[in-house]
Structure 1
Amino acid sequence: MLLIRLFAVAFLFSYSALAEDLRLVYPHFPPYTKQQQPLAAGNFLVEKIMQQLQQGYSTKQVPNYKRALSEVQYGEADGFFFASQNSQRDSVAVFSKSVLYNNWSWFFRYDRYLDPYSSEFKSDAKVASIEGTNTLRWLNTHHYHVVGKQSNVAKLAIMLFDLERIDAAFMSADVFKSSEVHPNLVRGEYIEVVQRSAPFGIYISKAYLEQHPGFMQRLNSAINVVQKTYLDSSYTLPGLIREP
Structure 2
Amino acid sequence: MKQWLSIALMLTLTGASGSALADNRPERLLLATQEWFPYQYQENGEMKGSGIEKIKCVLKVMEQPYQLTMTRWDRAQLLTEVGTQHGFFLASHNVKRDEYAVYSLPVSEQNWSWFSLSGLTDINSKMFKRQIEVAALFGSNKWFWLHKNGYRVTKNPRSPKAMLELMLNGEVGAILGNDAVIEETIKKMGISYRAISKTRVQSQPLGVYFSKAFVEKYPQFLVEFNRASKQCKGN
TM-score class normalised by the smaller sequence: 0.7 to 0.9
2:88 is matched with which residue? 80
Query: Residue 45 of structure 1: CA displacement?
Result: 0.5
1:49 is matched with which residue? 58
For residues 100 and 13 of structure 1, what CA distance do their matches in structure 2 show? 30
2:164 is matched with which residue? 157
For residues 13 and 50 of structure 1, what CA distance do their matches in structure 2 show? 17
Q: Given residue 72 of structure 2, which amino acid in structure 1 is its aligned partner? A: P
Q: Aligned match of 2:207 in 195, 201, 208?
A: 201
Which stretches in structure 1 are left out of the alignment for 5+ residues?
1-10, 231-244
For residues 52 and 146 of structure 1, what CA distance do their matches in structure 2 show? 42
1:96 is matched with which residue? 104
Q: Given residue 51 of structure 1, which amino acid in structure 2 is its aligned partner? A: K
RMSD: 2.0
Query: Residue 126 of structure 1: CA displacement?
Result: 1.4
Q: State the 4+ residue runs in structure 1 displaced beyond 2 angstroms.
A: 11-19, 35-38, 110-113, 116-119, 180-183, 186-189
Bigger Rg, structure 1 or 2: 1
Q: Given residue 201 of structure 1, which amino acid in structure 2 is its aligned partner? A: G
- Bigger helix share: 1
Query: Residue 216 of structure 1: CA displacement?
Result: 0.9
Corresponding position: 1:166 with 2:172: yes
TM-score for both structures, normalised by structure 1 = 0.82
Query: Residue 207 of structure 1: CA displacement?
Result: 1.1
Q: Kindly provide the CA deviation profile for residues 171-226 of structure 1, in whole angstroms up to 9, marking residues without a partner as x.
A: 11111011144232x65631110111111001111111111121111111111110
Corresponding position: 1:136 with 2:162: no
Kindly report which structure 2 residues correspond to 1:1-244, keeping only aligned pairs within 5 A, or say none: 15=22, 18=25, 20-36=27-43, 37=46, 39-64=48-73, 66-114=74-122, 116-161=123-168, 163-179=169-185, 180-184=187-191, 187=193, 189-227=195-233, 229-230=234-235
Q: Given residue 138 of structure 2, which amino acid in structure 1 is its aligned partner? A: E
**8 Å Cα contact 2:109/2:205 also seen in 1:** yes
Change (3 A) 1:223 1:171: same
Please identify, of 203-212 and 75-84, the stretch whose mean Cα deviation from structure 2 is larger: 203-212
Query: Residue 119 of structure 1: CA displacement?
Result: 2.7
**8 Å Cα contact 1:157/1:182 also seen in 2:** no
Query: Residue 146 of structure 1: CA displacement?
Result: 1.5
Q: Given residue 105 of structure 1, which amino acid in structure 2 is its aligned partner? A: S
Query: Residue 108 of structure 1: CA displacement?
Result: 1.0
Q: Percent identity?
A: 25
**8 Å Cα contact 2:24/2:220 also seen in 1:** no
Q: Kindly provide the CA deviation profile for residues 221-240 of structure 1, in whole angstroms up to 9, marking residues without a partner as x.
A: 1111101x31xxxxxxxxxx
TM-score for both structures, normalised by structure 2 = 0.85
Query: Residue 139 of structure 1: CA displacement?
Result: 0.5
For residues 28 and 104 of structure 1, what CA distance do their matches in structure 2 show? 18
Q: Kindly provide the CA deviation profile for residues 85-142 of structure 1, in whole angstroms up to 9, marking residues without a partner as x.
A: 111211111100011121111001124341x343311111111111111111100100
Q: Kindly provide the CA deviation profile for residues 141-165 of structure 1, in whole angstroms up to 9, marking residues without a partner as x.
A: 000112312111222212111x212
Query: Residue 38 of structure 1: CA displacement?
Result: 6.5
Change (3 A) 1:15 1:166: closer
Change (3 A) 1:144 1:79: same
